[in-house]
Structure 1
């Protein structure tokens, strides 16, 4: 993506300037808050297909996220192929079975009890799309020499947040899934060694009988998550 000769700083006027009055900004922030309150992590998907264009535009939105040195150290593998989804489920459930049967994870498993998770992951085949998010630990110039990426976890985390918001805005639900370890995803998605799988997003429409854990509705109040210094 990067060419050494074109890495010099070149300022340009701020494009796409958005001008709002304070009242308009307050209203917009409140409206967005109410919209995001309707976003829920969903494990139960229906068979309704989702046009690829919708998901691709959501991924384009994720690609607009800020990143360290603007290196954009992410890659998204979009999977709708039934055989690939089945292979991912098989590999993920193998790792999950090890996790749930290990005594060393007892405390972690106890923490997950209110969420109702287990080693079975049917959402990996039920959802019409899987998005696998990769972090690119380093990049490659056109002459094949490497360059370092910076703030990779932070950058990919921000992009993932953009993606979750975009999917919700498009009327879709998703589940963030992080089997550990995830090295099998690099092989299945045919990604290079520079790519580290971060998460799998199952994306689609909720099933008629979809439910969420009651505990998921409990969010920390602003007083717990904000320290303000006027």
Structure 2
């Protein structure tokens, strides 16, 4: 009994000693952490400052190297012409330069002409129903030539017009466009956009693309190809949009 009691006292003493050691370790850890807290905070602040400085420099370099005259979709790092090649190219343009000698009109004639043009454009409508009646191909070619007179960044004329007349090819184009338009209506456009155009009774079905005798496809050229390399097409999307506007105006003349 005495031995058992002695062992019990010894075990209790060992447990108390172990508990004290654990408590001492915890207190030591807390003290160490408390002493290191300012150091850790300082290190974090330094890291944040370095990251912020690096980010600011990156933004500055982006602003310095940015080219706002180039559309955002120009991601191919277009190679600009060297000074020597650029000089030759500019000299060639000088040789092709045609002086601008516009006609002069009286005030009455200016008013008459501008009013006639307004009446013509005011009769334009956005329609989705087209006649099957053929028109001379020469008319379509002239309309496209008119669209090609549009202004463009650095006179790069970054557009390509493709005329389709083959029924099978037109139908294939229709299928491609309808597939994309269905995604637009169901996912990309959003409920508000779809709701706003609901009164126009439009959808992704484009049956008129099979009906119209011609389809005019308009492509924008992001860059041009010259013997010396790629040539930047400045404001290519805006330039093509202006050209399409003139195309619609020219079509209104024959409708």
Per the shorter chain, which TM-score range?
0.5 to 0.7
Of the three residues 163, 172, 194, the one matched with 1:78 is 163
CA–CA distance in 2 between the matches of 1:103 and 1:167? 31
Which of 86, 110, 127 is equivalent to 2:212?
127
For 1:14 and 1:99, the matched residues in 2 are separated by 45
Where does residue 233 of structure 2 map in the other structure? 149
Matched position secondary structure for 1:69:
helix
Q: Provide the rounded CA distance (Å) in 1 between the counterparts of 2:131 and 2:231.
A: 43
Q: Which residue of 222, 227, 249 corresponds with 1:165?
A: 249
Larger helix proportion of the pair: 2
Query: Using the alignment, how far apart are the partners of 1:7 and 1:42 within structure 2?
Result: 44
Q: Which residue of the other structure, out of 152, 157, 174, is the alignment partner of 1:89?
A: 174
Q: TM-score, normalised by structure 2?
A: 0.61
Q: Does residue 89 of structure 2 align to residue 6 of structure 1?
A: yes
Q: Does 1:65 pair with 2:150?
A: yes
Shift of residue 114 of structure 1? 2.0
Q: 1:136 maps to what in 2?
A: 221
Q: Which runs of 5+ in 2 are unaligned?
A: 1-80
- Is residue 115 of structure 2 the alignment partner of residue 115 of structure 1? no
Instruction: Kindly tell me the number of residue pairs found equivalent between the two proteins.
Output: 168
**Could you tell me which residue of structure 2 aligns to residue 35 of structure 1?**
120
Higher strand share: 1
CA distance in 2, matches of 1:24, 1:78: 36
| CA RMSD between the two structures | 2.0
What whole-Å deviation, never above 9, does each CA across 1:103-127 have from its counterpart, x for those lacking one?
8621111111122101211011111
CA shift digits 1:116-142 (9 cap, x unpaired): 101211011111111111111100003
**Structure with greater Cα Rg:** 2
Displacement of 1:47: 1.5
The correspondence of residues 12-51 of structure 1 with structure 2, limited to 5 A, is 12-15=98-101, 17-51=102-136
Contiguous gaps of at least 5 residues in structure 1: 172-230
Give the match's secondary structure for 1:76: strand
By how many angstroms is 1:20 displaced?
Answer: 0.3
Take 1:56 and 1:69, find their aligned partners in 2: how far apart are those partners?
25
